[in-house]
Amino acid sequence: MAMKSKKKLPKKKKSAPTKAKAAKSAKPAKTGKPARAAGTEPKRVAEILAKLDEAYPNATCELKHESAFQLLVSTILSAQCTDVRVNQVAETLYKKYPDAKAFAYATPSELQQDIRPTGFFRNKTKSVMGASKAILEKFGGQVPRTMEEILTLPGVARKTGNVVLGTAYGIASGVVVDTHVLRLSNRLDLSRNEDPKKVEQDLMKIIPQNKWIQFSHQLIWHGRRICHARKPKCLECNMESLCYAKDKTV
């Protein structure tokens, strides 16, 4: 008698994961953007500004100058150089080259030697001469008063533009972000960016526009006098209670 063959039951299909489970397993996409600085709460920013006003009520640009043009040249020369050294060079430089025309038609090799102590003198000579010629040919011998125009000058980026517009003309076009402002903005958790342009944008969002010029000077003064790169003098800092930087010395 033939045996009946057993029927094979169809395999159960695995149910698809629910939306809730799928959502849990999905990893958030990385944007590559730094998180918003936690220290940008308005009350804390106001306290920092008050402390800076208390410590440096008369802070100003430490580059010696008698005109917007001299300030422009000195700021170009200050790249990778101290203001003290630039001021030393400027004592004789502006006597020899009193205006834009003198710089524009200077002998390059001679000007290189005149500004050599500031470093990178070849590139700086090209920038100074190029900016001087542009001022003569495009702007009637006057340093322009808008960021858009000043950025067309050779060797001029936003930092230089902000220094000149803010200090010489009192125009708050942005925040000066030099090495001190960059370092302190990160230490004070006002920005978590490393690129100067992005740091400037961060600061412009949290600092009132009528404080941009003074804030830049004050932070630079604080960086030079107290909040040094290697050994900050935290015991002498009036913002110590507001600061939670990892490299504090107290």
Annotated catalytic residues are: 159, 178
Please state, in angstroms and as integers, the Cα–Cα distance from residue 50 to each residue in 47, 165, 170, 206, 215, following that order.
Answer: 5, 24, 21, 14, 10
Residue-wise over 89-122: b if at least 16 C-beta within 10 A, else e? bbeebbeebeebeebbebeeeebbebbeebeebe
* 202 three-class SS: helix
Rounded to 10 degrees, the C-alpha dihedral 156/158/161/163 comes to -120
Percent helix, strand, coil in the chain, to 5, is 55, 0, 45
Please state, in angstroms and as integers, the Cα–Cα distance from residue 122 to each residue in 15, 48, 50, 79, following that order.
Answer: 72, 40, 42, 13
Q: Which two tokens stand for residue 132?
A: 């001087």
Confirm if 131 and 107 have CB atoms less than 8 A apart: no
Q: How far apart are CA 156 and CA 62, in angstroms?
A: 19
* 87 three-class SS: helix
Confirm if 61 and 167 have CB atoms less than 8 A apart: yes
